[in-house]
Amino acid sequence: MSSSAEKFEKERERLNKIALKYADVKIKRYFSLDSQSYRDEGALPKKIKELLGLVASSVLRCDDCIKYHLTECFKQKVTDKELEEALSIAMVVGGSITIPHIRRAFEFWDNIKKQED
């Protein structure tokens, strides 16, 4: 995967380590509940769950969450067209205020794909 995705994952891990130093059982349970929600089990395939997480993150305008779900979407072989349709729903629901985040989402996606080649 791309160096920008790698850089993002490393920074995320570094900060997670600091957070977990302070976190007690409730925060740890939240982290575990969070990862359970996107697990490849149940009725919806993991790919769809990651797209749901991506759209939720986009309308709430959280760049870090968007990058995380883009990385997972890439692993799940989401196509450019599927990504575009999901992000255009996020844009229509969330308004022009999401545009700067969606621009950066496409840039991150573009980088992931370039490095992959």
Residues at the interface with a second copy (CB under 8 A): 12, 15-16, 18-19, 21-24, 26-27, 29-31, 33-34, 36-38, 42-44, 48-49, 51-53, 55-62, 64-65, 79-100, 102-104, 106-107, 109-110
Residues 104 and 90: their CA atoms lie apart, in Å, by 14
* Minimum CB distance to a second copy smaller for 43 or for 117: 43
Least distance CB 72 / a second copy (angstroms): 12
- Tell me the torsion sign for CA atoms 74, 5, 61, 44: positive
Taking the complex as a whole, how short is the minimal distance between the CB of residue 54 and a second copy, in angstroms? Answer: 9
Give the dihedral sign, CA 94/100/102/105.
negative
User: Smallest distance, Å, CB 90 to a second copy?
Assistant: 6
| Residue 9 or 94 with smaller CB distance to a second copy | 94
Q: Which spans in 1-117 are helix H?
A: 3-22, 25-37, 46-59, 63-75, 80-94, 99-116
Beta carbon of residue 16, minimum distance to a second copy (angstroms, whole number): 6
Report the largest interatomic distance among the alpha carbons of the chain, rounded to a whole angstrom.
42
